[in-house]
Amino acid sequence: MTPRLELDPLLVARARELAARAAEPVVELARRHTTVSVERAVLRLAGLTGTDPLTGGGGTENTVPWVNRVVDAVREQVGLEHGVALPVWHALASGTAPSLQALAEQVGAGTARFTLPEGADADRARAAARTAVARGIARIDANRRRREELVATHGDPPRRPWIYLIVATGDIHEDIPQAQAAARAGADVIAVIRSTGQSLLDFVPEGATRTGYAGTYATQENFRLMRAALDETSAELGRYVRLTNYASGLCMPEIAVLAGLERLDMMLNDAMYGILFRDINPQRTFVDQRFSRMVHARAGIIINTGEDNYLTTADAVDEAHTVTVSQLLNERFAHEAGLADWQLGLGHAFEIDPDRRESFRLELAHAMLARALFPDAPLKWMPPTKHMTGDVFRGYLLDGFFNLAGALTGQGILLVGMMTEAVVTPWLSDRDLALRNVRYVLDAAGGLVEDFAPPTGGFIDRRAHTVLTEAVQLLEKIAAHEGGLLQAIADGTFGITRRPPDGGKGLDGVVRLAAGAWNPALALLDREPADA
């Protein structure tokens, strides 16, 4: 059930119309370009894995994946303006190598030669590439069906919101027992936070890793190990436990593919987070996020967006409307890429200064606005972090208020707040206490969502409409501005962080497509799964 807050339907329609206008130039930018990571994702869908043993050193996190080596070689020899598929599968169809793996090894040896095929040669290469990539898409489709089977067998959690808990030791083999313990203590979603700085790596590490910093590397093998462990726990508990990781940063498309191949259930995937908080080039980010969201749509993965991060750098009251604008833009980008409303874990947060009078009423207004504006989206409600002081007793109380706000306003995904936020990385005992807090509030007050109806014209109703009106006004400025959304980001509109369109990391990995460019993954992802 959702709480009753009646928004002005004309204002809501205007907001979505303006969001579509503001998003369209960025969508067109994404359609006209590719990136090195998009092209590497194509090779991953076709089954190319592993690393060049002659590169790197010092562990699996430092070797260079074959997909990087092949894409770099194609770019050097013929360019990426037509995509990687035609030159690669032309080489295979011409008998240069018996398999994609063998061709990669020739690249490593320096003997591979790529050319851009024409005519019948291009047709043969196109057909072979489509067949190879289709096998990867078929595996993603099979994983989606398997998830549905397991949910039908084990069942979903008996109530909403789902309880979302972070695990992050740096060692996947330590993460697994902690994740299983968290699920047994009540967590419905386990998020394995990534190693610090992985979003800035322009390659995906390979294998099971044990040396992450403040998090664990996102790798295909780590995904496989954690999913298998949580499947065991799901059978034990009689409810399906979901797994989350992060499809963001310079390898967003590749990590999205790996998530689909290993049946992850949710992925952090925000349109602007990497731009604002990791200084990744805006153009690179928007091209990569469109492809990654098409993969998530096909895989049946719920995305989580990152609007909560804006409120760690900007005032949660003064800039509340920028959160709403970002949610509307994330919704538009997601719909254009094929995601359904049930897959939109749009983000927002409990970050108003608790010393401010009426802070809880303001939090309720903002949360109810999001709930009313996106009634069919699960929404991801984030706990207080900015104003946690190290006083664990005060922090525990704030987390209780946060949990109550989530219950009252019908949030879909509730990230567990930690009383030791800003003090230490949580101990298992900290997580246990935090989960007790959540369970108590949801058991005692979870049904209040059906009783809570702020009066029309009251404080919460007025505040929600004020924020929505300010969001519409900002969208009008963005849509009318010649530079559009890219200029708004450059001006510091979101999270008061300025990021110019030609700045940041990864711009050199963006390539404008030529006439006749072809990506077999895009062609296949545009189609619905056969049994959807």
Domain containing 431 — which CATH number?
3.20.20.440
- The answer to whether 335 and 299 are in contact (CB under 8 A) is no
Between 51 and 63, the more confident residue is 51
Contact 233, 185 (CB under 8 A): no
Identify whether 273 is a catalytic site residue: yes
Query: Residue 526's pLDDT is what?
Result: 79
pLDDT at position 210 over 80: yes
In a domain, 446, yes or no: yes
Instruction: Examine the pLDDT at 387 and tell me if it is beyond 60.
Output: yes
Q: Specify the pLDDT at position 192.
A: 96
Return the pLDDT at 427: 80
Q: Is residue 223 part of a domain?
A: yes
Averaged over 7-33, what is the pLDDT?
96
Least confident of 55-69, 85-99, 401-415, 515-529: 55-69
- Mean pLDDT along residues 26-30: 96
Q: What is the pLDDT at residue 530?
A: 47
Is 380 one of the annotated active-site residues of the chain? yes
Res 483: pLDDT: 82
In a domain, 532, yes or no: no
The Cα–Cα gap between 91 and 520 comes to 16
Q: Is 235 a member of any domain?
A: yes
Q: Which residues contact 359 (CB under 8 A, 6 or more apart)?
A: 352, 353
- Of 215, 155, 186, 194, residue with least CA distance to 403: 186
What does the block give as tokens for 321?
């409307």
- Neighbour-count burial for 132-149, b at 16+ CB within 10 Å, e otherwise: bbbebbebbbebbeebee
Residues forming beta bridges with residue 245, ordered by sequence position: 267
Which DSSP helix (H) or strand (E) runs through 415?
strand 413-415
In which domain, by residue range, is 364 found? 1-521
Which of the following is catalytic: 52, 308, 399, 461?
Answer: 308
Q: How far apart are CA 302 and CA 244, in angstroms?
A: 9
pLDDT band at 309 (very low <50, low <70, confident <90, very high): confident
Tell me whether residue 355 is one of the annotated catalytic residues. Answer: no
Using a pLDDT cut of 70, give the percent of the chain over it.
97
Mean pLDDT (whole number) for 230-236: 98
CA torsion 317→433→223→68, rounded to 10°? 50
Mean pLDDT score, 438-453: 92
Model confidence over 251-293: pLDDT tens digits? 999 999 999 999 999 999 988 888 988 999 999 999 999 999 9
**For residue 130, what are its two tokens?**
């489509």
Position 308 scores a pLDDT of: 86
- Alpha helix segments (H runs only) across 300-358: 310-313, 320-336
At residue 2, the pLDDT reads 63
Output the pTM of the full model: 0.95
Assign 18 to helix, strand or coil. helix
Give 129-159 pLDDT, tens digit per residue.
Answer: 999 999 999 999 999 999 999 999 999 998 8
pLDDT at 497 over 90: no
The pair of three-digit structure tokens given for residue 521, joined into one six-digit string: 């993954």
Residue 529 within any structural domain of the chain:
no
Distance of CA 250 to the CA centre of its chain: 13
- 199 inside domain: yes
Per the structure, how many domains does the chain have?
Answer: 1
In whole angstroms, give the CA distance from residue 301 to residue 292.
11
The values of phi and psi at residue 499, to 5°, are -135, 105
Tokens of residue 183, six digits: 């699920």
Task: Given the residues 164, 188, 288, 380, select the one marked as catalytic.
Answer: 380
Residue 527, in any domain of the structure: no
Which position among 273, 288, 399, 461 bears the catalytic label?
Answer: 273
Q: 410-442 as b/e, with b when 16 or more CB fall inside 10 Å?
A: bbbbbbbbbbbbeeeebeeebbebbbebbeebb
Confidence tier at 242 by pLDDT (50, 70, 90): very high
d(CA 7, CA 249): 35
Is residue 530 in a domain? Answer: no
